[in-house]
Each structure stands twice: as structure tokens, then as C-alpha cells.
Amino acid sequence: MTEAPVSKTTRIYEKVVEKLKEEIADGRLLPGDPLPSERQLMETFGVSRSSLREAFRVMELLGLIESIAGKGRFVRQPREIVDDQKKGIQLEDSAILELMEARRILDPAIAGESAMRATPSDLMRLLRVITATEDHLALPRDRAQADFDFHLVLAEATHNFVFVNITRMNFDLILATHDRIYNLLDDKGAFLNEHREMYDAILDHDAERAREAASRHIDRIYRTLHKGIAAGE
């Protein structure tokens, strides 16, 4: 009784997200444009207000729209990237790069905290995730999930719920765009080795080394994505 309506709602808001993404991709909605009113969108898509609001929530999380207090919802402006000589960067790619910029600051901090606070059971869970990952490197979807599993256990090892929530939020965006990200990265072995380096440092409770290992990991990811996106891949 409970499951069917839930999955129906899920499909409805996902369809709204898809349609709005299409309108942005086609240029029918341009960066900086206001979205049509809720009433108008409810009529156009034939959906309820709650489905529409859920769609807005997801679009904000994906960095596609933004709410401005007292003004309404707008299509977000993609950020400029320096060496992009050609057409403007896609909004979704801009969101991916902004996320990775934030992770360059956050991830070393999380790794450092984990090194100081990880318990023996955290260490066991980290090792288990790394070992399990070895068999799941072929598909982007699997790499995304394995990456998430590692970074979530890492965040949990800080014993700070804020780091855990931030990590979940980051990976909501990553999992939603995993095809784009993990195809550009195509780094089957590299990320696993980097995770191992982070684990070794945390095992030694060496916060400085853990921070450095996390920096190398996220810097490589950021640089690879930046290069791929700038080259218009």
C-alpha cells in the first residue's frame, strides 16, 4: 500500500527534473532566467505542488537553479573556466567543478580528523570498503558507489555528524552525474591506490600524511575533470 504511491511520486518529480533540464540544455531557459511560476509549471506538467517542490530541491542540489529570497527561482549562471576558448561551459559541468573545488578544501580536513579520531572498528570498515572495491571498478556506476562508500566511512570516522552530512550531500550530486564524472576520470586503479594511501596514514594516526594523501587524491580528480571539461570532451 505504501510503496506504490512513493515510487509514483518519485517518477513524477524526476520527469519534471528531466523536462526542465532539457529546457535549459536547449536554451529555452537561459542562465539568469526566472523559472515560470509554480502555478504555470503545475499546469504545464500536470503535477502537484509537492512534486514540483521536490523537483526544485533536486535541481538546486544539482546546481542547476537557485532560489533568491524574495525574488523566486532562477536558472543558475555557469562559472567561467579560464581556458575555455570555445562555447560556454555546460551548467552541469560548472556544478561538478564547483563541488570539486569545495572538496579540495574539505576532504583533507576530513582525512586529518579521521586520522586523529578513527577507532579500531572504523579502521576495519575502511579496509573492508577498499577490499570490496577491487572487484567493482569496471562500470562508472560501480566506481561512483565504491568511492561514495569509502568517503562516507571516512567521514564517519571523524565522529562529527556535520562531515557525514556534507559527504552525503556531495555524493548526492556525484551519484546524479556519475556517468559524466567517472567517464572523464577513467581512473580505475588510481583512485583505489589513493584511497589506500589515505587508509595507511589513518591507520598510523598520522593526520598530516592523511591530509596530504587526501589533497593528492582530490587535486588529481579536480585537474582531470577541469581538463576534460575545458577540452569539451
Q: Which residues bind Zn ion (CB under 5 A)?
A: 147
Q: Which residue is nearest to Zn ion (CB)?
A: 147
Let me know: does 174 contact 99? Beta carbons within 8 Å.
Answer: yes
H or E stretch including 67?
strand 65-68
Round to whole Å and give the CA distance between 66 and 83. Answer: 26
Identity of the residue, 113 or 147, whose beta carbon is nearer to Zn ion in the bound complex: 147
Closest CB 95 distance from Zn ion, rounded Å: 18
Q: How far is the CB of 176 from Zn ion (least distance, A)?
A: 17
Burial class (CB in 10 A: 0-12, 13-18, 19+), 81: middle
**Structure-block grid coordinates of residue 3:** 510503496
Per-residue cell: 39: 502555478
How many other CB atoms sit within 10 Å of the CB of residue 212? 17
**Residue with Cβ nearer Zn ion (51 or 133):** 133
| Pick 73 or 151: Cβ nearer Zn ion | 151
CB of 150 to Zn ion, least distance (A): 6
- Compare residues 55 and 115 and give the one whose CB is closer to Zn ion: 115
In whole angstroms, how far apart are CA 164 and each of 72, 149, 209?
30, 12, 21
Is-contact 143 180, C-beta < 8 A? Answer: no
- Report which of 107, 116, 195 is spatially closest to residue 157, judged by C-alpha positions: 116
Distance in Å, CB of 131 to Zn ion, minimum: 15
Nearer to Zn ion by C-beta: 56 or 182?
Answer: 182
- Kindly state the smallest distance separating residue 55's Cβ from Zn ion, in Å: 29
Of 76 and 151, nearer to Zn ion (C-beta) is 151
For the bound state, the minimum distance from the C-beta of residue 110 to Zn ion, rounded and expressed in Å, comes to 11
